[in-house]
Structure 1
């Protein structure tokens, strides 16, 4: 666990030292708060989506997306976030979020390339969630693809049932291989959870096999909260949203960080469980305007 002197736990500090950014991380870490400042509360109030990461009853980590109209996220005070949404039926986190849970969240604004993370403890509240904040901080706009919300509701009255598996089907592999965005949930040893964003040009996530993925960890804010969690606990949940259909592809598995890769660090991910939620949300988004920060995709020593 972090101490009053630093917001970082030992796994994060180990990774920061390995990457040679311990001093830089200490400086950036001063932005991590235990309260929601007014500017963050206003940002949250305008959002349409919130990614939530948590562990299910079997200890598997998942990341899922909750959506709503502006105002579905509200910070009634500096320590509390209310969420007027719950997971759809069949979501791997439906049951665990029906009770108290440690959660990590990230609110994303693709149109303005802004994001904010809030981690803490949730409990059911008026058909949604109430989250007591432990960590609140913003991230830089790097690697966020600009998209505008189209708000085209799904035509089906009820979402199709979840499709489960232990490896990726051909269509799922294609979706991941062409993805420009995904979200990752991770946790430290005691279970304190974080949700983070990953973006890049299509192809930055490599499908190595039906149960194996690989991606480079592009330079960020030097806090290494995700990799620090993986240092303590290899379990991780991934969310690949389909921006055109509202379908969510959720993966749970384990991750290993490769510090010897040409694009080090890189993450090798082994899929243990797959849950596909067709038309999980009503939001539809425009075609992306790729971030100018996205590096070229490198595969097998070749750049493309």
Structure 2
């Protein structure tokens, strides 16, 4: 596997180009046995997709253990009934690029899978182009508490152009979110971000700023953003099953003076919000908080 120009640009600016190149071997074009074993027990995934206007969205996918089913080393099937008010179904009919992050919050494990999707109402089939595990950094431990399908309330969607006061409070108190990015040639990607509550700064109803901490130095997300600033963010209310999806444009900030405002920040991201989608009762799973990551800065 090789990196695209955007990834190489960020790796070079960060001074980790040689280290990133040495890590290239961890990216596989097949689903290796360790990944297959991991997937058969998982219940939470985040999908990165692109709408007809080129906006990038991060969407929550959940199901029974193993709902992301491996068909063979090149193909998998996501057995999930997609919520019609989430853009993921319509997006994949328009653009079949998909990025997946399958994450185990209890054991701090995460697997990224990027490829091409074929969608219908009962499942999504994905032909894999990239598959690789990420490190456990900044993942807060959470345990799946119970499945509450029988008492799940009505799913409702609220669409806005700006963050409400309630949305802003939600984000300001969050310790976890997910980011979706897209490269026109290399495809879609979904990634995890974590820190102590408050690590995402709400500037106003249209702008967020958040730090980028030391990671795997491959810079798939940032490499995509350098080429295409359109991105999507997903915040999950783990206790209630609600989601908050933002789509907009991201700008990478390297200014040392601004970095000093955020403990542990290697870079910053300014995110300008173009659309907000809140979905109540987006999933039937609930999570109980366990503990913060021991490597969270600050």
The TM-score normalised by the length of structure 2 is 0.94
Task: Report the count of equivalent residues.
Answer: 291
Q: Which residue of 2 aligns with 1:71?
A: 66
Residue 278 of structure 2 is aligned with which of 270, 276, 279?
A: 276
Where in structure 1 do 4 or more consecutive aligned residues deviate above 4 Å? Answer: 154-158
* Aligned equivalents of 1:55, 1:191: Cα separation in 2: 13
Alpha carbons of structure 1 residues 97 and 151: separation in structure 2 relative to 1, 3 Å: farther
Unaligned stretches of 5+ residues in structure 1: 1-5, 297-304
| CA contact 2:245–2:277 (8 Å) conserved in 1 | yes
Residue 185 (structure 1) aligned to one of 180, 186, 192: 180
1:185-206 per-residue CA deviation (whole Å, 9 max, x = no partner) reads 0011336100000000000000
Residue in 1 that maps onto 2:169? 174
Q: 1:244 to 1:158 in 2, by over 3 A?
A: closer
Alpha-carbon distance, 1:264 to partner: 3.5
Q: Which sections of structure 2, spanning at least 5 residues, go unmatched? A: 260-264
Q: Confirm or deny that 1:118 pairs with 2:113.
A: yes
Hey, what does 1:290 align to over in structure 2?
A: 292
CA–CA separation in structure 1 for the residues paired with 2:150 and 2:165: 26
The alpha carbon displacement at 1:30 in A equals: 1.1
Any conservation in 2 of the 1:100–1:123 contact (CA below 8 Å)? no
CA distance, structure 1, for counterparts of residue 188 and residue 222 of structure 2: 12
For residue 262 of structure 2, what is the aligned residue in structure 1? Answer: none
Equivalent in the alignment of 2:230: 235
Deviation at residue 101 of structure 1 after TM alignment: 1.1
Q: Paired residue for 1:201, among 196, 217, 242?
A: 196
Superposed CA deviations along residues 60-108 of structure 1, whole A, max 9, x for unmatched, are 1000011111121111100011100143121122312356610000000
**In structure 1, C-alpha distance between the alignment counterparts of 2:200 and 2:149, rounded to whole Å:** 28
Q: Find out whether 1:56 has 2:59 as its counterpart.
A: no
TM superposition shift of 1:45 = 1.0
- Counterpart-to-counterpart distance in 1, 2:124 and 2:189: 17
Which residue, out of 262, 265, 268, partners 1:266?
A: 268
Report the alpha carbon displacement of residue 172 of structure 1 after superposing the two structures with TM.
Answer: 0.5
TM-score (norm 1): 0.92
Do structure 1's residue 149 and structure 2's residue 151 form an aligned pair?
no
How far apart, in 2, do the equivalents of 1:82 and 1:10 lie?
Answer: 31
